[in-house]
Amino acid sequence: MSHAESDTFALVDTFPASLVWGLAIAAAVETVGLHLWLAPRHPVAAWVLVALTVLSVVWVAAERRAVARRPIVVDGRTLVLRAGSRLHARLDLAADVASVERLTWRTLPPPTGDYLNTAKPGEPNVLVTLRRPTAVRLALGITRTVTRVGVAVAEPDRFVAVVRPLEAPRTSSCGTEEGLKED
């Protein structure tokens, strides 16, 4: 890959349309019942509940659409990690990315404070490990410092194959590149 090219990687649909529709229908039924019960006693609270429910359903549907429209991009030496509005991080492959590896259900990292799983409610199939704690932007402009990010990429093997050669060489404790012997 030359530095002028860029590769895009679609995310796996871990929040299928059937789940969005199911949530919307459940929210509508529950909201109607609560509204009918609450409106005679607290009409303002009943309408606030309706508005918040509609806003929540719209946000979930918009998030699903954003995941489809905002792929992960490898452009030259830059990795742009995105997962809808839930994640945005622009990383220098040599300076910021320590490793990229395929994940399976057996190799999923445990949920800790430094790990971000962007594939929820599904499971990630790629783990991007950073060299140092890095601030990433989450939904609503919130930032979080992480060292590992799990993503669900539609073509995980291709993603790993494209990103791995662009990582900076790892050095051993004696300062030489791993895998190379100095005579």
| Residue 56: pLDDT over 60 | yes
Q: Which amino acid is at 16?
A: P
> Under 8 Å CB-to-CB from 150, ≥6 apart: which residues?
103, 108, 109, 115, 116, 117, 118, 119, 123, 124, 126, 127, 128
Specify whether the CB–CB gap between 69 and 13 falls below 8 A.
no
Helix (H, G, I), strand (E, B) or coil at 163: helix
User: For residue 6, what pLDDT is reported?
Assistant: 80
| Nearest CA-CA partner of 118 in 71, 54, 55 | 71
Least confident of 44-53, 61-70, 106-115: 61-70
Instruction: Give the model's confidence band at 7: pLDDT under 50 very low, under 70 low, under 90 confident, else very high.
Output: confident
Q: pLDDT for 66-109, tens place per residue?
A: 888 888 999 888 999 998 888 899 999 988 999 999 998 888 88
CA distances to 58, 95, 134, 140, 143 from 90, rounded to whole Å, are: 27, 12, 10, 17, 13
| Nearest CA-CA partner of 53 in 183, 61, 139 | 61
Q: Is the pTM here over 0.75, yes or no?
A: no
Instruction: Give the model's confidence band at 1: pLDDT under 50 very low, under 70 low, under 90 confident, else very high.
Output: very low
